[in-house]
Structure 1
Amino acid sequence: MESALAAQHGLNQKTVAKWRKRAFVHDAPMGPIARAAGERYGEVWRRVRMDAQIPCSLEALPGGGPGGGPGLAQVLAHGAQTERARRVLANLRARLSHQPDLVAVCDAVCGEEKTPREAAAGERDAARVEALLKVALDLMAGAG
């Protein structure tokens, strides 16, 4: 029975056996460390994605311009914060061993703030996305 379910849903037989032994059908609650890891991933992912909004340093004036443009210090600080976010994101992805499935799930759920069902290609894949997300969050939380 477990092998048929595992094959149908693309899961490991041990995972199916473990879930069948449960007395409840909902997912176990996410711990605060895993939740914090997901929130951190989302923060830095969104910061890195803001790159198009970095102001041009050619338009910046020392101390800020009378036209309301950003000052040079603001432009440089913005760039430094974005570069720091890039490094943090690279570190988090390294914790995931740069596995494409884990990174893609974190990008979609933590970064784009989609639900696992929205991130999945269909209802059948939602369970797979949820399982991948749990693995990814555990890896990120355990390494930090």
Structure 2
Amino acid sequence: MAFDIDPSQLGNPQDLEQLWVNKAIDFSEVHYDLLQSLDARFLKLTHIDDRIYEAFKASFPELNVEKIEEEELKNEAAKIKWRHFCEQFKPLIKDHNFGTLLRLDPKGPYTEENTTFSYRLQFLAIEIARNKEGFNLSLHTMPQQEFS
């Protein structure tokens, strides 16, 4: 069955947007709690972390995961590159393009100043790299902080 509806005229209902925000915040809280609770170098975020990490390092060798500059993720060239990167994992990662919150600096919590919107696979690639490279370790070794 085909619909004769222009998708651009459907809008984005407020309650649907709020559900996305709630899910993204819940996901972020769980992630932050995990980072504080255990040594992230041993944390597996997916069943294919190693594969994602290798592809990420090959595709984005210059991206500094220790401190993300938002422009590195959101400029036009980066969007195209990220889209291509994400497509290869589409059949393997459920909700690979779901909206997720990403910390810009792994030493800090999720705050308005330290958080940007990303796609789930962007988040996974960057956080897997941070875990493997030890950038998330500082959260485990510092006193527990509340999620902001």
TM-score calculated relative to the size of structure 2: 0.29
Q: Relative contact order, CA 8 A, sep 6+: which one is greater?
A: 2
Higher strand share: 2
TM-score calculated relative to the size of structure 1: 0.29
